[in-house]
């Protein structure tokens, strides 16, 4: 049972997230041979105020 976690900044539409899940699932199926029913995808959305690069929060840029 493959589990995939995608971490990304908030702001994507439901349609974008749906397409992401479909394509990630298909890639896992193609590379591992698992059936799509066995692939689990987690999307973790991060707030820009809780994410920083180079010592600066993205919400402050």
Which residues lie closer than 8 Å to 40 by C-beta, 6 or more apart?
A: 1, 2, 3, 4
**Residue 9, number of CB atoms within 10 A of its CB:** 13
pLDDT in tens, 8-59: 999 999 999 999 999 999 999 999 999 999 999 999 999 999 999 999 999 9
Which phi and psi angles does 11 have, rounded to 5°? 125, -5
Which entry of 1, 2, 23, 30 is annotated as an active-site residue? 2
54 carries an active-site annotation: no
| pLDDT (0 to 100) of residue 40 | 98
Distance CA 42, CA 50 (A): 19
Q: Assign domain 3-60 to its CATH architecture.
A: 2-Layer Sandwich (3.30)
Q: Are strands 40-46 and 52-53 parallel, antiparallel or unpaired?
A: unpaired
């Amino acid at each position: 049972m493959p589990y995939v976690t995608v971490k990304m900044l908030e702001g994507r539409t439901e349609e974008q997230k749906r397409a992401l899940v479909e394509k990630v699932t298909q890639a896992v199926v193609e590379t591992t041979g698992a059936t799509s029913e066995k692939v689990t995808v987690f999307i973790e959305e991060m707030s820009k105020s809780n994410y920083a690069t180079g010592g600066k929060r993205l919400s402050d840029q």
